[in-house]
Every structure is written in structure tokens, then in C-alpha cells.
């Protein structure tokens, strides 16, 4: 009987901070998702995360320290909940890869930095599982963007079968991975759900626009759309990455000063912004693409998916589910995989061609479980 493949946990809360995705996976001989779940943040904690991430960044040191620990405890609770549900002992897990919660991402600033909260010491102590964390800062130290990191996993997950394709992740921010016969490339194209969620929260008092119904009631404001697309980020060449530091409600309000668009029209225009910015990026940087595979929470917004399909036509657009890959947990699997690579002391070879780092680096720091 062949030995059982080592099991890894991957945990991430993305730009939307709508919950902690947990993936239980193995990678020998190929990536396999065994179980997954999404663990919601306590509402007060989520509100404080969003206030920090999309505000002016001012926070008392005591509040920052407390937030770091509370996020870590939520990550540990998420990991424990999945293992209990599956009846798996913590000692069966080779390592846990924690992305943490990004609260600031400034790779273009001088000096550049990226900040993820969720103290891995707390996670390792609470779960008794060896925890790998802090994946992005080594890449930034090496001159890279620190993001996106998932393209390296996309390349490992999908075989190079002679079909040029793009993997599109629709989280709070959209990013693409270009899989063709050239070196791996990928970058953040701009907002996906972060502005849609924020506008829905403001006008519907709901955390997101369920099934895109709010946007479906509106009409695209063409003039507003062009102003939004004029932001310098969209024209900047890769490598590049972004977040709520750029695309937040104050950014949107600055473009609405002379607009008479109704709230639902603004939502429809934000859908068009996401679709157009993605299509522009694919056409400019992946002109040979023959299919686009979509993962991330945005795959469940039918209005957004139709807009992306129309903007990319005639390139077919489909969920990664059509390839047997759960679209909700690709990123969590990616951080389980990164933990596996770190334990093996392997540099992640493809990341530097995505992020612009000076070369491959071993990513992540190890915090041993008890």
C-alpha cells in the first residue's frame, strides 16, 4: 500500500474580509482538495478590519496589537472547526499555511511594504500545528510586489496542455494568471468585489450585492465609467498589485462629484469597471488566450460573470469547477501549497516572473507547533 500523502491546511481571508477560507489539501502526486469551509469573522472584528483597511491607516498601537491577536485566534478557530468536522487530529497535519489578513499593501511606496495581521505564534500555539506565515514580505524585500502569489499555484495545478489560458481570480481585487508558452505572468487588474460590496453595504445595508440584483436594476453611466477607467493604475504596466488602499469608497466618491447616477446605476457601472478592466488586461497581455477559467467569490455573481463574458467575447469564460476545481478554495489551497514548499525548503521558482522580484526566494517563516 502506498504511503498516505501529507496533509496541509491553507487559510486566507482576502480583501473583502468576508470570512476565513480553510482548505485541507495534499500535493503528492498532484494537488487534491480533501475538505474545505468558510469561517465567518465575528461582526465587530470584521468591521474593525475594514475600517483599518479602507481608512486612513491611523490606529493606536494597542488596538493594532489586539487586532493581530484576535485575527490569529479566528484563524485558529477556523482550522480547528474544519478538523473537528472531518474527524482529523491536528497531529495528522504536516503544516498550516496562513496568509493572514492584509490591512495595508504598499509595494510602490518608498520604502515598500506589505502588512498582514494574524500572529502566527498564536495560531501555532492554539492549534499545535506547525504554522507557515509571512509569505509576502520576503518577495517585497527582494524588489517584488509581494502579490499576487497564487499564479505559481495555478501553474502547478493546471497542466500545460498546449492551450493558452488565463486564470481569473475574482476576490475583492481581481487578478489574472497567464498560462502559455512564455514565462509565467500575472498581476492585479483592479477592483472586483471590493467596491461592489462597499457600495452595497452603503446603500442596501448588506455586506454584498446578492446575485448582482442591485446592479441588475441599474444602467451603466458611460461618462462615469470612463472617468473610473482613467485611473493611472489601469494603464500601468505589470508587475503590479493593488488593494483597498487605492480602490475604496473615497476613491469612488471623488469620481462622483458631478454625477447624477442613481445608486443602482453606480453599482451597474462598477460591474462594468471590473469587466472592462479585466478584458483590457487580458487583451493587452494575453492575446493568445483561448479560455478564461474563473475562481473566487465573484464567480457566484451572475451579473458580474455575464459582464465579464461579454467583455471577453469570443474567448469562452467558465468557472474552474468545469475542471473539477472548487472555485471558492483555490486561494486557500495555494497557501497550503506554499506551506508545503516552505517545509521542503524549495524556492517558488515562478513567483519572481509575476512579482518582479530579483529572483526565486523561499517564501514564508516557520513557527513550530507544540
pLDDT above 90: percentage of residues in the chain: 91
111 burial class (0-12, 13-18, 19+ CB within 10 angstroms)? exposed
Please report which confidence band the pLDDT of residue 283 belongs to, taking 50, 70 and 90 as the band edges: very high
Contact 366, 154 (CB under 8 A): no
Element of type H or E holding 279: helix 263-285
Q: Which residues contact 181 (CB under 8 A, 6 or more apart)?
A: 160, 164
Q: What pLDDT digit, counting tens, does each position of 308-325 carry? A: 999 999 999 999 999 999
Contact 313, 226 (CB under 8 A): no
DSSP annotation of 278 reads H
Cα 321 off chain centre by: 18
**Given a cut of 80, is residue 26 above it in pLDDT?**
yes
Sorted by where each starts, the structural domains of the chain and their CATH numbers stand as 7-145+332-351+358-367 (3.30.420.40), 150-323 (3.30.420.40)
Contact 271, 189 (CB under 8 A): no
Average pLDDT over residues 226-238: 97
DSSP SS3 for 15:
coil
CB atoms within 10 A of CB 231: 18
Q: How far apart are CA 178 and CA 18, in angstroms?
A: 27
Q: Which grid coordinates are listed for 289?
A: 488566450
Q: Would you say the C-alpha torsion 351, 354, 360, 364 has a positive or negative sign?
A: negative
Q: How far apart are CA 314 and CA 256, in angstroms?
A: 33
Cα 313 off chain centre by: 25
Q: What pLDDT digit, counting tens, does each position of 64-119 carry? A: 999 999 999 999 999 999 999 999 999 999 999 999 999 999 999 999 999 999 99
Tell me the whole-structure pTM to 2 decimals: 0.95
Classify 134 in phi/psi space as left (phi over 0), alpha (psi -120 to 50) or beta: left
CB atoms within 10 A of CB 125: 16
Please report which confidence band the pLDDT of residue 338 belongs to, taking 50, 70 and 90 as the band edges: very high
Please report which confidence band the pLDDT of residue 15 belongs to, taking 50, 70 and 90 as the band edges: confident
Amino acid at each position: 500500500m502506498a504511503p498516505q500523502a501529507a496533509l496541509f491546511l491553507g487559510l486566507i481571508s482576502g480583501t473583502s474580509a468576508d470570512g476565513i477560507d480553510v482548505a485541507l489539501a495534499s500535493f503528492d502526486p498532484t494537488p487534491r482538495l480533501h475538505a474545505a469551509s468558510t469561517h465567518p469573522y465575528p461582526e465587530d472584528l470584521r468591521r474593525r478590519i475594514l475600517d483599518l483597511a479602507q481608512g486612513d491607516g491611523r490606529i493606536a498601537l494597542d488596538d493594532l496589537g489586539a487586532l493581530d491577536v484576535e485575527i490569529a485566534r479566528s484563524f485558529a478557530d477556523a482550522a480547528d472547526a474544519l478538523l473537528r468536522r472531518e474527524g482529523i487530529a491536528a497531529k495528522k497535519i504536516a503544516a498550516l499555511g496562513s496568509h493572514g489578513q492584509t490591512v495595508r499593501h504598499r509595494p510602490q511606496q518608498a520604502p515598500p511594504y506589505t502588512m498582514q495581521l494574524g500572529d502566527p505564534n498564536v495560531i501555532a500555539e492554539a492549534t499545535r500545528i506547525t504554522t507557515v506565515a509571512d509569505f509576502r514580505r520576503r518577495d517585497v524585500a527582494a524588489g517584488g510586489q509581494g502579490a499576487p502569489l497564487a499564479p505559481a499555484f495555478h501553474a502547478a495545478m493546471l497542466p500545460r496542455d498546449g492551450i493558452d489560458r488565463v486564470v481569473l481570480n475574482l476576490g475583492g481585487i481581481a487578478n489574472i494568471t497567464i498560462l502559455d508558452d512564455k514565462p509565467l505572468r500575472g498581476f492585479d487588474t483592479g477592483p472586483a468585489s471590493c467596491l461592489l460590496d462597499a457600495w452595497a453595504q452603503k446603500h442596501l445595508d448588506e455586506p454584498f450585492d446578492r446575485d448582482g440584483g442591485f446592479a441588475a436594476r441599474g444602467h451603466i453611466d458611460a461618462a462615469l465609467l470612463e472617468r473610473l477607467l482613467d485611473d493611472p493604475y489601469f494603464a500601468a504596466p505589470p508587475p503590479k498589485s493593488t488593494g483597498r488602499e487605492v480602490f475604496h469608497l473615497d476613491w469612488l466618491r471623488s469620481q462622483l462629484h458631478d454625477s447624477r447616477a442613481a445608486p443602482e446605476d453606480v453599482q451597474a457601472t462598477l460591474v462594468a469597471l471590473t469587466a472592462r478592466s479585466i478584458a483590457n488586461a487580458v487583451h493587452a497581455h494575453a492575446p493568445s488566450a483561448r479560455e478564461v477559467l474563473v475562481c473566487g467569490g465573484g464567480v457566484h455573481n451572475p451579473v458580474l460573470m455575464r459582464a465579464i463574458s461579454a467583455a471577453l467575447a469570443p474567448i469562452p469564460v467558465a468557472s474552474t469547477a468545469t475542471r473539477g476545481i472548487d472555485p471558492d478554495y483555490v486561494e486557500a489551497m495555494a497557501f497550503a501549497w506554499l506551506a508545503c514548499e516552505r517545509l521542503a525548503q524549495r524556492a517558488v521558482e515562478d513567483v519572481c516572473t509575476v512579482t518582479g522580484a530579483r529572483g526565486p526566494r523561499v517564501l514564508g517563516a516557520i513557527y513550530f507547533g507544540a
